[in-house]
Amino acid sequence: MELFYNQYGDSGSPLIILHGLLGAHGNWHTLSRTAFQDAARVYAVDQRNHGRSPHADRMDYSTLAADLRRFTDHHDLGPAAVLGHSMGGKTAMQTALEYPDRVDRLIVVDMAPRAYPPHHTELLDALARIDPEGYESRDAIDEALAEDVSSWPIRQFLLKNLDYDGETYAWRMNLDAIRAHYDDITAALPTTSPFEGPALFVRGGASDYVTDEDREGIRARFPNAELVTIDGAGHWVHADAPDALAAVVTDFLSAKTP
């Protein structure tokens, strides 16, 4: 499977960025183009069943990690820094645990390795109730989606998944596969051999995705992990506090390993 990506910059050590559930590489465009490009050679990737990457029936973290391993091999990246947000954070963690030789540094944004309750079931059901082909405009789809999703910012995020070929609209993501494997997406990661490399976990101070109780599970798998809290940021730390996140990440990328 050839994952779609955008590259920012052509010098420096590689940094691979993985988006969250129902996201795509474009969610990280601004930070990739500005702060991160000055610190690394950035590859913002669409994970399978998302964005412009291929669709497939299988979707679990071992499979997503294998996709990323093949991506690093195909582009001859060697060990790379890997940054993942939310679902992408779990993919990044799984990759570090299964293929530690492919990961130079691990950066996880607002995600722990534990199992999570099904936060997105209602959103996924709302999306499944809409067939974009039956609508003539993005605004009409937004209006239909508003019947189930009252939050305008969340609807705008979801509508980034719309594709338009000049005649009809369609969902770009593989909604059927995502719904079928949602239990795999929310599942805990295994406690196998730990990743001994440098690891940075960044959580939003206004988010409940990474709690103090999660420190034990993080350290069990990533004994050299550092946990940083960005006050006032919610789950989408890169949208809520981009400058603060950029500073933390670039400092970590430039730090010398022991």
Residues with a known catalytic role: 86, 176, 235
Contacts with 43 (C-beta within 8 Å, 6 or more apart), sequence order: 5, 6, 7, 14, 15, 16, 17, 71, 75, 77, 80
Please tell me the chain's helix, strand, coil percentages from 3-state DSSP, rounded to the nearest 5: 40, 15, 40
Sheet with 80-85: list strands edge to edge. Answer: 5-8, 41-45, 14-18, 80-85, 103-109, 199-204, 225-230
Determine the straight-line distance between the first and last CA of the chain, rounded to whole angstroms: 36
